[in-house]
């Protein structure tokens, strides 16, 4: 009897592994193989993608000694700050406002998602027309009507990162808001009805019902947002090319410069990629520990 059960268990496990095998193969091919190859390439002097000579950690030392790397790291943390101030809060605000809307909720959901349909590059080019320092720049046209002088928005070092974050937020906030709205849909309506009967206004309902209900979802999207902002590249590349004076240079854009900016130094580009991966792994580990601590505390 035990032998029959053992055979059945082996058969079930074998079937499960066979079902998962295509996904495992694709996962390894498109994720682990490139990752291992990047780590390997970061330890070599390269000619384009050809490994020429093993040089150990010299690529990493070269990257760390480059002042542009220090600037890129500082800028990336600035991107993260503004992304949390703007890009993280705006979708939550949109979801709550649309959720509290009585009429036209479907229209507002569709309108919020439309920017996400646009290709990323097209959205950046659209906003470059808004921020243009020329007379044809949309914002400068509006400023002209109000009697103000023209401004070169993307040439102001203290403005360029917040403006790039605004661009990225406009592109992706609607899709994130829909995720929050899905989370809000799972809240029992009786909770809101009971709160309304007890005299709770909109702000109190949001504070004591809505926010606690989406807290876990928000914490997950928070770490995903940090991971995404560390990979920001084409927005500063198209809008400012990392300028003015490297004020908008991100670590991903620095990696692109190493790889495609003229020297085709894929060794140092791979070193930057590995450094980014290590930083994000640290953030993810911290998030996992905090989340585990919170779960144990709540339990």
**First-to-final CA distance of the chain:** 40
CB distance 191 to 209 below 8 Å: yes
> Once rounded to an integer, what is the mean pLDDT over residues 280-289?
86
What is the per-residue pLDDT for 297?
Answer: 67
- From CA 231, how far away is CA 242, in angstroms rounded? 14
- Using one digit for the tens of pLDDT, what is the confidence trace for 162-171? 999 999 889 8
Give the rounded percent of residues in the chain with a pLDDT score beyond 90.
Answer: 19
- CA 206 to chain CA centroid, Å, is 26
Between the CA of residue 263 and those of 156, 171, 215, 268, what are the distances in Å? Answer: 29, 32, 46, 10
- Using one digit for the tens of pLDDT, what is the confidence trace for 222-265? 888 888 888 888 889 888 888 888 899 999 999 999 988 877 88
CB distance 213 to 184 below 8 Å: yes
Q: Which residue has the higher pLDDT, 74 or 295?
A: 74
pTM: 0.84
- Using one digit for the tens of pLDDT, what is the confidence trace for 46-81? 888 788 888 989 999 999 999 999 999 999 999 999
What is the per-residue pLDDT for 81?
Answer: 92
What is the per-residue pLDDT for 2?
Answer: 60
- From CA 73, how far away is CA 275, in angstroms rounded? 10
């Amino acid at each position: 009897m035990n032998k029959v059960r053992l055979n059945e268990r082996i058969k079930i496990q074998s079937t499960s592994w066979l079902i998962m095998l295509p996904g495992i193969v694709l996962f390894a091919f498109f994720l682990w193989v490139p990752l291992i190859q990047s780590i390997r390439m970061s330890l070599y002097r390269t000619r384009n993608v050809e490994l020429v000579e093993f040089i150990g950690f010299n690529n990493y030392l070269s990257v760390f000694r480059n002042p542009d790397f220090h600037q890129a790291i500082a800028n990336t943390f600035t991107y993260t700050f503004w992304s949390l101030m703007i890009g993280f809060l705006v979708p939550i605000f949109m979801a709550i406002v649309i959720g509290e809307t009585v009429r036209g909720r479907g229209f507002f959901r569709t309108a919020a998602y439309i920017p996400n349909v646009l290709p990323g590059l097209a959205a950046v080019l659209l906003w470059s027309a808004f921020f243009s320092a020329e007379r044809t720049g949309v914002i400068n046209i509006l400023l002209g009507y109000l009697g103000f002088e023209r401004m070169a928005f993307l040439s102001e070092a203290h403005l360029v990162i917040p403006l790039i974050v605004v661009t990225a937020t406009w592109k992706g906030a609607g899709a994130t808001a829909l995720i929050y709205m899905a989370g809000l849909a799972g809240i029992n309506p009786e909770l809101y009805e009971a709160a309304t009967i007890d005299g709770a206004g909109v702000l109190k309902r949001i504070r004591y019902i809505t926010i606690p209900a989406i807290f876990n979802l928000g914490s997950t999207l928070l770490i995903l947002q940090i991971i995404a902002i560390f990979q920001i590249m084409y927005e500063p590349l198209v809008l400012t090319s990392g300028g003015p004076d490297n004020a908008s240079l991100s670590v991903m854009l620095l990696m692109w410069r190493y790889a495609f900016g003229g020297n085709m130094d894929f060794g140092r580009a791979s070193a930057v990629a590995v450094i980014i991966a290590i930083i994000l792994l640290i953030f993810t580990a911290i998030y996992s520990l905090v989340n585990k601590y919170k779960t144990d505390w709540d339990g």
